[in-house]
C-alpha cells in the first residue's frame, strides 16, 4: 500500500472513531438489512433504555431495576413490579430471561391498573426456579393450566426464551421454542377452572381485552433481555375482487346473504359478533343457508371450533327436503375438534372429510382448537375437492360408480337425489357447539 493511501485510511479511521465521520458511517448504514422495527416489532428493551416501562401506579421505574453491562435488565432482590407504558390487546411478545437460585417471577398480560398488583387483573405466564411440571410451574397459565410435557427449563443461571401470543382470545405460551400451553381466553373451560380457583373472588381478573404487560419481581434476583412485542392486527375481510369475480358472503359486518330454512331471519343463537359469524351453542336452533343457490363454485372461508365442537359446511343442498324441518341434507365438509369429539375416532367423520363417506388424506394439517383454519371447496363438473389449510385432502366425483357405492352403504341410501341438487344452496351447520366463521367468499365457475 502506498504511504499516501495508508495516511488516508488512518484519517478515515480516526474520523469514524472520533464521531466526525458521520457522513461516511451513514453511507455504510444505507446497505444494512431492514430492522425489526421495519417488520412491525416494538423494541421494549434493547439493553440500553427502560423508557418503555414504568412502575405500578407510578410514572417512575422502581428502584432495583437496573441495566447491567451485558445489556440485561436486572431485577434485584425485593424490587417492585413494572409494567409497559403502552397497552396491548392481541400481540406476539418475545423475550429471554434467567433466574438466580430460588427466584420467582412472571409475565402478566392484559393488565388493568386496578387493585394492588398487576396479577390482580392479568393472567400470568409463570417464571420460577423449579423444573417440575404443574399448574404453577414455568410457562403455566399460573394456577389454571399446566404446561405439556414439552416444557423444559434450562438450568439455573442459564438463559431461557419465552413467547406469548394472543390472537382473537386464543392464547399460546411458548418456552424455549416449544408450544407448552394453549387456551381460549373466554372459553367455558377457562371459566370452569376460574370458578374452582383462588381467582373466583378476584373482581376484574381476566375481564379486559386490552391492558399492560407486567413484569413481576417476586423475590430473588432475575434478569431479562431482548424484549420485543408486535401487535397482531384484526383480520381484514378478503376483498371481493381477489383473482376474479368473488362475492363476499360474510365480510364481518352483515349476515345478509344467509337465512334460516323457515324465515329470512337468522335462527336463534346465530349472530354477527366482533366481526365474526358466531353460533353461540344450544340445541335445535337450526342451520343457516345461503339465500342464493350455486352450481359450480369455489368457496373459501376460515373457521375455529370450540373444544369438543362439531359443525360443518354443506353444499348441493335442496331446501325443499330439510331433515326434521331445520337440518339440511347435503354433501358435508366436516368441521370438528378431532381430539376431543367422539367423531374424531373415525377418519370419515374428522375435519376436512366428506362427512361419513370419504376421509381426508395424509396431507391434512389441522390447527389446534381455538386457532383459525382455512378451508376451501371447489366444485366443477361434478368433481369436488376439499382443501384444509392449503392442502388438498379429499377429491371425488359426484355420480361416479364409487360415489354411488358409498351412498348405498350410508345413512343417505334412501335419499335418491342426495348431493345431486344443481344448483344447490350452501349451509353452515348448527350442531349444538360453539363455532366461529369469517372471510366467507365464493366465486361461481363457468
Boundaries of every domain in the chain: 36-231, 246-444
Q: Which residue has the higher pLDDT, 11 or 211?
A: 211
DSSP string for residues in 92-138: EEEEEEEE-TT-EEEEEEEE-S-SSSGGGTS-EEEEES--S-STTST
In 314-350, which positions are buried (b, 16+ CB within 10 angstroms) versus exposed (e)? bbbbbbeebeeeebbbbbbbbbbbbeebebbeeebbb
Q: Are 123 and 109 in contact (CB under 8 A)?
A: yes
φ and ψ at residue 119, rounded to 5 degrees: -75, 0
Q: Read off the pLDDT of residues 419-446 as tens digits, 9 standing for 90 and up.
A: 889 999 999 998 788 999 999 999 999 7
Biggest alpha carbon–alpha carbon distance for the chain: 98
- Quick one: pLDDT band at residue 238, thresholds 50, 70, 90? very low
32 or 308, greater pLDDT: 308
Enter the C-alpha cell of residue 296. Answer: 359450480
- Give the pLDDT confidence score for residue 17 in this predicted structure: 37
Residues in CB range of 2: below 8 A, 6 or more apart: none
- What pLDDT, on the 0 to 100 scale, is given for residue 26? 32
pLDDT band at 321 (very low <50, low <70, confident <90, very high): low
* Cα–Cα distance measured from residue 412 to residue 398, given in angstroms and rounded to the nearest whole number: 14
| Residue 317: partners with Cβ closer than 8 Å, 6 or more residues away | 289, 328, 329, 330, 421, 424, 425, 426, 427
Report d(CA 90, CA 2) in Å as an integer: 60
Q: What is the pLDDT of residues 19-71, one digit of tens each?
A: 433 333 333 333 444 455 557 899 999 999 999 999 999 999 999 999 999 99
For 36-231, which CATH superfamily applies? Exo-inulinase; domain 1 (2.60.120.560)
Positive or negative, the CA dihedral 81, 86, 89, 92 is negative
Nearest to 425 by CA among 323, 335, 314: 314
pLDDT of residue 323: 56
| Contact indicator for 294, 300 with CB cutoff of 8 Å | no
Pairing of strands 288-290, 42-45: unpaired
**pTM recorded for the entire structure:** 0.54
Residue range 170-223, pLDDT digits in tens: 899 999 999 999 988 888 789 999 999 999 999 899 999 899 999 999 879 999
> 427466584: which residue's cell?
103
Task: Give pLDDT, residue 285.
Answer: 65
User: Among 435, 208, 226, which residue's Cα sits nearest to residue 333?
Assistant: 435
Q: In whole angstroms, what is the distance from residue 110 CA to residue 93 CA?
A: 12
pLDDT for residue 268: 81
User: In 10 A of CB 201, how many CB atoms?
Assistant: 7
Is the model's pLDDT at 322 over the cut of 80?
A: no
* DSSP-derived 3-state class of residue 192: helix
Supply the pLDDT for residue 325.
54
Q: What is the C-alpha separation between 163 and 178, in angstroms, rounded?
A: 9
Residue 130 has pLDDT above 80, yes or no: yes
Q: How many CB atoms lie within 10 A of CB 158?
A: 9
Determine the Cα angle at 351 with ends 408 and 274, to 5°: 130
**36-231 shares its CATH topology with 246-444:** yes
At residue 10, the pLDDT reads 40
Q: Which of these, 148, 431, 174, lies nearest to 287 by C-alpha position?
A: 431
DSSP strands (E only) in 296-346: 297-305, 310-317, 331-336
Provide the 8-state DSSP code for 282. Answer: -
pLDDT at res. 282: 75
CA 386 to CA 377: how far, in whole Å?
5
Q: Given this model, what pLDDT does residue 157 score?
A: 94
3-state secondary structure of 4: helix
Q: For the chain, give the percent of residues with pLDDT over 70.
A: 87
More confident call, 104 vs 264 = 104
pLDDT (tens digit, 9 = 90+) per residue, 67-125? 999 999 999 977 899 999 999 999 999 999 999 999 999 999 999 999 899 999 999 99
Specify the CATH number of the domain 246-444. 2.60.120.560
Rounded mean pLDDT of 321-348? 84
Amino acid at each position: 500500500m502506498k504511504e499516501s493511501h495508508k495516511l488516508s485510511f488512518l484519517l478515515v479511521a480516526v474520523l469514524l472513531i472520533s464521531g466526525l465521520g458521520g457522513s461516511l458511517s451513514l453511507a455504510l448504514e444505507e446497505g444494512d438489512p431492514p430492522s425489526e422495527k421495519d417488520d412491525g416489532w416494538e423494541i421494549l428493551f434493547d439493553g440500553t433504555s427502560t423508557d418503555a416501562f414504568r412502575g405500578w401506579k407510578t410514572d417512575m421505574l422502581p428502584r432495583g431495576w437496573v441495566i447491567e453491562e451485558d445489556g440485561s435488565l436486572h431485577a434485584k432482590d425485593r424490587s417492585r413490579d413494572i409494567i409497559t407504558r403502552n397497552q396491548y390487546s392481541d400481540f406476539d411478545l418475545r423475550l429471554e430471561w434467567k433466574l438466580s437460585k430460588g427466584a420467582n417471577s412472571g409475565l402478566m398480560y392484559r393488565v388493568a391498573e386496578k387493585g394492588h398488583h398487576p396479577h390482580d387483573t392479568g393472567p400470568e405466564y409463570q417464571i420460577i426456579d423449579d423444573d417440575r411440571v404443574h399448574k404453577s410451574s414455568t410457562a403455566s397459565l399460573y394456577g389454571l393450566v399446566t404446561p405439556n410435557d414439552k416444557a423444559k427449563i434450562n438450568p439455573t443461571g442459564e438463559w431461557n426464551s419465552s413467547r406469548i401470543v394472543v390472537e382473537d382470545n386464543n392464547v399460546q405460551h411458548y418456552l424455549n421454542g416449544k408450544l407448552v400451553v394453549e387456551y381460549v381466553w373466554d372459553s367455558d373451560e377457562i371459566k370452569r377452572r376460574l370458578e374452582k380457583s383462588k381467582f373466583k373472588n378476584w373482581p376484574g381478573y381476566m375481564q379486559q381485552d386490552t391492558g399492560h404487560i407486567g413484569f413481576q419481581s417476586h423475590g430473588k434476583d432475575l434478569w431479562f433481555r431482548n424484549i420485543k412485542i408486535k401487535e397482531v392486527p384484526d383480520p381484514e375481510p378478503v376483498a371481493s375482487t381477489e383473482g376474479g369475480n368473488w362475492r363476499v358472503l360474510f365480510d364481518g359486518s352483515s349476515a345478509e346473504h344467509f337465512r334460516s330454512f323457515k324465515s329470512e331471519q337468522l335462527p336463534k343463537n346465530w349472530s354477527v359478533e366482533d366481526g365474526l359469524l358466531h353460533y353461540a351453542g344450544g340445541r335445535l336452533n337450526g342451520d343457516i343457508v345461503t339465500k342464493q343457490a350455486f352450481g359450480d363454485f369455489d368457496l373459501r372461508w376460515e373457521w375455529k371450533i370450540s373444544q369438543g365442537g362439531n359443525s360443518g359446511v354443506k353444499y348441493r343442498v335442496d331446501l325443499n327436503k330439510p331433515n326434521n324441518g331445520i337440518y339440511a341434507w347435503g354433501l358435508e365438509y366436516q368441521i370438528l375438534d378431532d381430539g376431543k369429539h367422539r367423531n374424531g375416532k373415525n377418519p370419515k367423520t374428522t375435519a376436512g372429510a366428506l362427512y361419513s363417506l370419504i376421509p381426508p388424506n395424509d396431507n391434512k394439517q389441522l390447527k389446534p382448537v381455538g386457532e383459525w383454519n382455512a378451508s376451501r371447496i371447489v366444485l366443477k363438473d361434478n368433481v369436488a375437492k376439499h382443501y384444509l389449510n392449503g392442502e388438498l385432502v379429499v377429491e371425488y366425483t359426484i355420480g361416479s360408480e364409487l360415489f354411488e357405492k358409498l351412498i348405498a352403504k350410508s345413512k343417505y341410501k334412501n335419499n335418491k337425489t342426495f348431493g345431486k341438487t344443481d344448483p344447490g344452496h350452501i349451509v353452515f351447520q348448527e350442531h349444538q357447539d360453539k363455532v366461529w366463521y369469517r372471510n366467507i367468499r365464493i366465486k361461481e365457475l363457468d
